[in-house]
Amino acid sequence: MITLSRRAVLASALLPLSAAMEPARAQSAPDFGKVAPPIFSALAKANDIPGLVVGITRNGQHEILAIGSTARKDGRPVDGSTLFELGSVSKTFIVALAALAAERGRLDLNAPLENVAQRLTGTPFGALTPIDLATHATGGMPLQLPDGIRNEKELVEWLAAWKPAASPATRRAYSNVSIGVLSLVTATALGTSFTRAAQRDLFPLLGLDSTYIDVPEDAMARYAMGYTKADKPARLTPSLLGPEAYGVKSTALDMLTFLDANMGVGTVAPDMARALARTHTGYFETASYVQEMIWERYPWPVGRDRLLAGNSLDMAMKPQPITRLDPPSPPAPASFINKTGSTNGFGTYAVMLPAEKLGVIVLANRNYPNEERVKAVYALVEGLLGGAG
């Protein structure tokens, strides 16, 4: 089943002046309802995805394409309110919370972690900063915690003994450990737990009413069942640092609201707006993109091959050289900003083109290759903008 829906989320009076002054362009823009279905129907079929939801925001106007169902057996049709696991796209919320703590004077993003985690004083890990963790510039933190670490006490003991595997000028892309610890450090600075800080403060401040770490009972019927690459049913199971590193569940409609906030569309509290802008500061340059706080920034326009290289498995799993930007690069509107995320049973892709006030979210209840996500979204952007460069 394929369904399309549209939700106008902002009155024109709330749009930035540049967007409000472009009605002719908006009216003449290619139709999402025509461009998207053939691209994403083919994507879902080729990757045997049970349920796929694609959403776009253009100048604050939201449109949704929904294909398939929440489960292979006895599922309901997916839609803009279906809950999906975000995987590593969760990390974009983690850095937003860290930046918000900085805005409120509770966390210094450039100070050693040992200032907050005194038990790590005098250790290589304690000498790292929150920015190091948010940009993967740790000198080689592992992707996952070693086996046998069962609680926070054992985690701190392991961190205290950890030594960099490489130069600080080496990036390890998907270290769930470093980002998970950033969550814990931020929560400590705020005097609460990460889950409580996210669910009671961050998500409401962003205007998100269907984004969770712990999905409440009354929302479970909207929570899709995920499917592994081997087509086995799968949802996240409890694990140390899981909620803190990759545990957010959300809907296409909420994610479009989040992308809007990141692009300065709509209204959020001033400290939240400043925090989101901080997350789009560029700190390091890789072979393919500028590393913001978790988000990855490419120049716009950008070629598809460069995007594929930046989102490749090698980029995620192998150490990569990085060059520190001094001074850091301020947010750049003429950019293609993206982040992929996966759990065992889900695949996510989030994209923003701030200069175009265009955002795209793709949520699927199957783990499938990043390459396929990039190709599909690139084709969509080309179709909507008339060529991507």
The active-site residue out of 174, 212, 283, 378 is 174
d(CA 187, CA 193): 5
d(CA 39, CA 289): 26
Q: Which two tokens stand for residue 75?
A: 């599922």
**Could you tell me if 156 and 116 are in contact, meaning their C-beta atoms sit under 8 angstroms apart?**
no
* Half-sphere exposure of residue 217: CA atoms within 13 angstroms, side-chain side: 0
**Could you tell me if 157 and 117 are in contact, meaning their C-beta atoms sit under 8 angstroms apart?**
no
Which strand (E) or helix (H) includes residue 40? helix 32-46
In the chain the first and final C-alpha atoms are separated, in Å, by 33
d(CA 195, CA 198): 5
**Cα 302–Cα 306–Cα 311 angle in degrees, nearest 5:** 115
How many CB atoms lie under 10 A from the CB of residue 152? 11
Which strand (E) or helix (H) includes residue 341? strand 335-342
In this structure, what are the phi and psi dihedrals at residue 173, rounded to the nearest 5 degrees? -65, -55
The active-site residue out of 5, 12, 18, 88 is 88
Tell me if residue 349 is catalytic: no
Indicate the burial class of 240 (C-beta count within 10 angstroms; 0-12, 13-18, 19 or more). Answer: middle
Q: Which residue has the tokens 């962003």?
A: 206
Tell me if residue 174 is catalytic: yes
Q: What is the 3-state secondary structure (H, E, C) of 40-83?
A: HHHHHHHCCCCEEEEEEEECCEEEEEEEEECCCCCCCECCCCCE
User: Active-site residues: which are they?
Assistant: 88, 174
